[in-house]
A and B are shown apart, each in its own frame.
Chain A
Amino acid sequence: MKKYKHNIDSEIAYTHLFSKKKQTLVAALGVTVGIAIFIFMNSLMNGFEVSSVESLFKSTPHLRIYKNDALSKSLVVSTDSSKINLISNPKITSESKKIVNPIQLLKLIKNEPEVVGVTPSVSSNVFYKNGDSEVAGRISGVVIEEQNAMFNLQSYIVDGHYSNLSDYQNGVIIGVGIAEKLNLKVNDNLTVTSAMGVNKLMKIVALLQTGNANIDKTLAYVNLPIAQQLQKQNPSYITDIYVNFKNYEQTKSYISKYQQLTGYDIEDWETANAAAAAANKMRKMMAMAISMSIMLVAAFGIYNILNMTIMEKLNDIAILKALGFSGKDIVKIFVTEAIIIGLIGIAFGLVLAVILINLMSNMWVGGDVGFFPIRVFPKYFGIGIVFGLVVTFLAGYLPARKAALLDPISIFRK
């Protein structure tokens, strides 16, 4: 019976949209604003979060394996009452802090699938001296290439080059705070004195600035053997092993595994930076709440403006039904309209979001942050598109279906 398919539903939808261009654009603009704000705010929150996590991991590994100081037992009680109980002064045992057979351990950890980086480290407390001036600090003996791979050292070297450390066995990278206090610059010499009384004359190969004043004023990197010598130890002496994982958020779940694997104490980044980790968690929850609220507000805005557009056409719906258009046709017409408005709105919304993100990323914050750490996260653009389409579909579908179920006469009677 039906010989031709004239697609009259789409034709009516297009005519509605084109004959009222202004109204269509206003409705699309409602979608645009909703989508753009949604993407922008999410990028803002996420950019901020990523940058704060990055700054946290500038100096903290995801996991630190170390041997805690062990005290000698103050009282050894004999079970046999005829024997003498031994009482001694409790003191830190001389073998403490040392990790046994570190090379084997490093290999073992490196082979775990979730590990992306692992490096040994020897840290000791030292004095930096230049002439009469003296600064206390902490020196870290590292394998510089591995250290750089894990902590992206090169990004906060402000003078010199980090790889110079591997060329000069006696080289040292010092924080800018130390350099300032001791009036030193790259290629100057510096005397380092350890608690064990070892003196070493070192050559400054690079300056580093993390933005964290505490680190910048105390930390220096040297080659692993130098740090071992400062401690009067042999080349197998390692105090810490740093491990980075593919996903830092899963660190907590690995703790017990590495405890069993190594038999040493484990400290994850959250424990090492409890305050920062709590702040991070809070920020995440805040971001989620804000993102949800924006989604809600944007959805309401989009729904309202599309709903209004359809309600204005209620009389047309009754006429079409009187002419023999079924409820399905009505729904199809208005969902088509809503989706087209949605697509136009989303397209502009994506552009607007990119513009807003660009504007924001050009804002200077200063400090170690520099420009505001916002960037284009494809994920949020994807979510924005899906979100926009779902909302516009529902905003077209729900009121259209409601109108489609009515008898045409009940619309005319109003």
Chain B
Amino acid sequence: MTHSNIILSAKGIGKYFYEPEKFKVLTDISFDINRGEFVTMIGKSGSGKSTLLYLLSTMDTEYEGNLTFDGENLTQQTKERLAVIRNEKIGFVFQFHYLLPEFSCLKNVMIPALKLGEYSREEIEHKAYKTLEMLGLKDQALKSASKLSGGQQQRVAIARALINDPKIIMGDEPTGNLDTKNTSIVFDIFKQLTSEFNQTVVAVTHDNDFAKASDRIIEMADGRIVG
């Protein structure tokens, strides 16, 4: 495992959609992201930024080109290994919260850590409480995830993404459902993670203020990087 400063590297990434007809969504995308960077990706709807993010997060494995993450070539990995990488090193926040409705908020946050098995159950619970507290959700911890408001659910999803101290946090419009106050809370957390803990954040956003305040903006149009 190399300890170069580059955490994520994309080389000549291309992707097709086959339905309803063959269509090239991404063309020849290459870039590097450094450790501790706070990167936002912007662009119009259909520019391919979310699709790119899914490729980077290993949740989509049908693409051309090559991805390297934390010194490991992702393109050649088995699905089992990719699952382990996602669990251990990647925290993902969806546009919709995607919580498991049968579980409490606390359990939702704990599940990735229980899967990872690096800490005892008590330690994980303690950490989950702390993360929820940081996001202003301590009181909601034991409620069922389906009983919360949209903004609260989104914050639980962010807490879940943070629980395993991932090397990289990816968000597909993570603040899309949040009000200004909560957006700034999330932004501050992301900022703190990158500057203090050397974690990396890659977020797709429509929020220009959010993007401008980040370290770097990758702008996309028609499946290419334009700036």
Contact = CB atoms under 8 A, between A and B. Distances in A.
Contact of A326 (B57, B80, B90): B80
A327 B103 contact: no
Contacts of A322: 57, 59, 86, 92, 94, 98
A3 interface: yes
B115 A324 contact: yes
Nearest to B92: A322
Interface in B71-86: 79-80, 83-86
A321 interface: yes
Contact of B62 (A324, A325, A329, A407): A407
A8 B100 CA distance: 14
A4 B54 CA distance: 30
A326 B79 contact: yes
Interface in B117-135: 117-121
Chain B contact-residue range equals 20 to 34
A326 B115 CA distance: 10
B54 A325 contact: no
B118 A3 contact: yes
B117 A4 contact: yes
Contacts of B57: 322
B115 A323 contact: yes
B92 A2 contact: no
Nearest to B103: A15
Nearest to A324: B87
Contacts of B87: 323-325
Residue from A3, A16, A316, A322 with most neighbouring chain B CB atoms (10 Å)? A322
Contacts of A16: 102
A4 B121 contact: yes
B48 to A, nearest CB: 13
Interface string B107-123: 10001101111111100
Contacts of A323: 86-87, 92, 111-112, 115, 160
Interface in B42-92: 54, 57, 59-62, 79-80, 83-88, 90, 92
Contacts of A412: 94
Nearest to B51: A409
B119 A319 contact: no
A84 interface: no
Contacts of A327: 79-80, 83
Given A3-B117, A6-B117, A15-B103, A324 B84 contact: yes
B83 A316 contact: no
Contacts of B88: 324
A5 B114 CA distance: 8
Interface in B12-56: 54
A325 B115 contact: yes
Interface string A2-14: 1111101001100
A399 B210 CA distance: 42
Contacts of B85: 324
A324 B79 contact: no
Given A15-B102, A15-B103, A407-B61, A321 B115 contact: no
A321 B61 contact: no
A264 to B, nearest CB: 74
Interface in A361-414: 405, 407-410, 412
B102 A8 contact: no
A1 interface: yes
Contact of B102 (A20, A318, A405): A20
A268 B98 CA distance: 74
B80 A328 contact: yes
Contact of A19 (B98, B102, B121): B102
Nearest to A19: B102
A246 to B, nearest CB: 55
Closest 5 CB pairs of A and B: A324-B87, A326-B83, A19-B102, A6-B114, A324-B86
Given A316-B100, A324-B87, A408-B59, 9 more contacts: A4-B120, A15-B107, A319-B99, A320-B111, A326-B84, A328-B80, A329-B83, A409-B59, A410-B60
Interface of A: 1-6, 8, 11-12, 15-16, 19-20, 315-316, 318-329, 405, 407-410, 412
21 contacts: A2-B116, A3-B117, A3-B118, A4-B117, A6-B115, A8-B111, A11-B114, A15-B102, A15-B103, A16-B102, A316-B100, A320-B111, A321-B59, A321-B83, A322-B86, A322-B98, A323-B160, A407-B59, A407-B60, A410-B60, A412-B94
